[in-house]
């Protein structure tokens, strides 16, 4: 009896072994949860910028709000600067002459007024007006899509343009506008050479910045 039981067990082991050798392993449809994703997810708290061709980095500092708060850090020419702003979307709205009215000071973004910081004295605009190192609120005043005034105001921290006072303006310069090569759904800033560019919808508004110490 014992001998028969042992022989039966040996036969069963041989059958299982043969079956296993003839079976091809299959990959489960569900990936291993511990394995890294084939395409890493890039955090939306920052935007990749090729530093070999760009002189700035653009970070999203608050992505929890409808118009994300962003911060551009870089150089316009040789001038280090930081621009902190709210980035609204077009969202199928008419922007210029409606959401951004003509002949009225605009916060140039969303929520808090846009802030720009220069770490050294600079010259801004085609007229080369001097600005001391520091942080300013940056407003714009469009009279049409073609005619823009860029305003540097000494009250850096303010909400929108509700408490804006012209008496606190430090410098006003002309902004140069042109049609955008590619429509921008969100309002953003960029640097191109020594030029600061504001881009939204179908328009780009720019002004030059140079060092006042050279």
Q: What is the pLDDT of residue 6?
A: 45
Q: How confident is the model at residue 167 (pLDDT cuts 50, 70, 90)?
A: very high
- What CA–CA distances, in Å, run from 135 to 8, 53, 57, 100, 159? 88, 27, 19, 24, 15
pLDDT per residue over 89-137, tens digit each? 999 999 999 999 999 999 999 999 999 999 999 999 999 999 999 999 9
Task: Calculate the CA dihedral of residues 188, 45, 81, 90 and round it to 10 degrees.
Answer: 10
Query: Is the model's pLDDT at 35 over the cut of 80?
Result: no
Write down the domain spans for the chain. 46-211
């Amino acid at each position: 009896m014992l001998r028969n039981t042992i022989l039966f067990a040996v036969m069963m082991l041989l059958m299982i072994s043969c079956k296993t050798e003839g079976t091809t392993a299959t990959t489960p449809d569900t990936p291993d949860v511990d394995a890294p994703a084939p395409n890493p997810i890039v955090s939306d708290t920052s935007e990749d910028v090729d530093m070999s061709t760009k002189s700035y980095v653009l970070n999203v500092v608050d992505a929890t709000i409808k118009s994300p708060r962003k911060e551009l850090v870089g150089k316009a020419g040789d001038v280090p600067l930081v621009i902190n702003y709210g980035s609204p979307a077009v969202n199928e709205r008419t922007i210029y002459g409606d959401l951004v009215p003509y002949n009225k000071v605009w916060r140039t973004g969303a929520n808090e007024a846009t802030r720009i910081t220069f770490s050294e004295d600079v010259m801004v605009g085609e007229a080369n007006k001097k600005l001391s190192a520091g942080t300013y609120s940056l407003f714009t005043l469009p009279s049409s899509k073609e005619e823009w005034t860029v305003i540097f105001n000494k009250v850096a921290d303010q909400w929108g343009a509700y408490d804006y006072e012209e008496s606190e303006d430090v410098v006003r310069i002309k902004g140069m506008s042109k049609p955008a090569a590619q429509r921008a759904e969100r309002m953003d800033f960029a640097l191109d050479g020594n030029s600061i560019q504001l881009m939204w919808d179908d328009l780009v508004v720019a002004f030059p910045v140079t060092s006042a110490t050279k």
